[in-house]
Amino acid sequence: MVDLYNNIKQIHEAYNKKLISPIELTKDYFQKIKASKHNAYLTLCEERAMQQAKKADQILVQTGQVPHDRFPLLGIPIGIKDVLTIEGVRTTCASRMLEHYIPPYTATSVLRLEAAGAIVLGKLNMDEFAMGSSNENSAFGPVLHPTHHDRVPGGSSGGSATAVKANLCIAALGTDTGGSVRLPASYCGIVGMKPTYGTISRFGLVAFASSLDQVGPLANTVEDVAKLLDVMAGHDPSDSTSLRTQKINYTDLIQTKYDLKNLKIGVPNEYFMGGLQPGVDSSVHSALKWCETQGAKLISVNLPHTKYAVAVYYIIAVSEASSNLARYDSVRFGVRYPDKAEQDLVEFYKKARSLFGAEVKRRIILGTFSLSSGYYDAYYKRACQVRRLIQQDFDKAFKEVDVILSPVSPTTAFKIGEKTSDPLQMYLMDIFTIPVNLAGLPALSVPCGKDNEGLPIGLHMIGPAFGDGKLLAIANAFEKGFRINHG
Amino acid sequence: MFTVNEDLTRKIAHLARLHLTEDEVKTFTSQLREIINYIELLEEVNVSGVKPLTHPFELETPMREDKISHYPKTNEGKSKILDSAPEILYDSFKVPSIISGE
For residue A123, being part of any structural domain is answered with yes
Residue A468 CA to residue A288 CA, distance in Å, equals 20
Mean pLDDT of B43-64: 91
Nearest CA-CA partner of A314 in A203, A411, A429: A429
Length of chain B: 102
Residue A370 CA to residue A414 CA, distance in Å, equals 30
CB contacts, 8 Å: B96 with chain A: 340, 343, 345, 348
Mention every residue, 6+ apart, whose C-beta is less than 8 A from residue A52: A26, A114, A118, A119, A120
With a cut of 60, say whether residue A39 has pLDDT above it: yes
Calculate the average pLDDT of chain B. 89
Residues B65-98 have pLDDT tens digits of 899 888 778 888 888 888 888 889 988 888 877 7
The predicted pLDDT at position A486 comes to: 47
C-beta atoms of B86 and A334 within 8 A: yes
Question: Residues A190, A295, A434, CA angle at the centre, nearest 5°?
Answer: 40
Residue A463 CA to residue A403 CA, distance in Å, equals 5
Across the interface, of B13, B47, B86, the residue whose CB is closest to A336 is B86
Residues A288-331 have pLDDT tens digits of 999 999 999 999 999 999 999 999 999 999 999 999 999 998 88
For residue A329, being part of any structural domain is answered with no
B-interface mutation test, from A385, A392, A425, most B Cβ less than 10 A away: A385
The predicted complex's ipTM stands at 0.93
Residues A413-447 have pLDDT tens digits of 999 999 988 888 888 889 999 999 999 999 999 99
Residue A270 CA to residue A444 CA, distance in Å, equals 19
Residue A87 CA to residue A69 CA, distance in Å, equals 26
Active site residues of A: 81, 156, 180
For residue A424, being part of any structural domain is answered with no
Put simply, the chain A residues between 350 and 379 with a CB less than 8 A from any chain B CB are 350-351, 353-354, 356, 358, 361-362, 364-369, 372, 374, 379
Q: Are A166 and A40 in contact (CB under 8 A)?
A: yes
Chain A CB within 8 Å of residue B68 CB: no
Domain range for A204: 2-255
With a cut of 50, say whether residue A286 has pLDDT above it: yes
Nearest CA-CA partner of A232 in A313, A182, A171, A159: A171
Dihedral of alpha carbons A147, A149, A154, A159, sign: positive
Residue A38 sits in a domain whose CATH number is 3.90.1300.10
For residue A398, being part of any structural domain is answered with no
* CATH of the domain spanning B6-44: 1.10.20
Alpha helices in A85-124 (DSSP H): 108-115
Residue A14 CA to residue A17 CA, distance in Å, equals 5
C-beta atoms of A102 and B94 within 8 A: no
Using left for φ > 0, alpha for ψ between -120 and 50, and beta otherwise, residue A33 falls in alpha
Residue A419 CA to residue A411 CA, distance in Å, equals 13
Residues A373-391 have pLDDT tens digits of 888 888 999 999 999 999 9
Q: How many domains does chain A have?
A: 1
Mean pLDDT of A467-484: 94
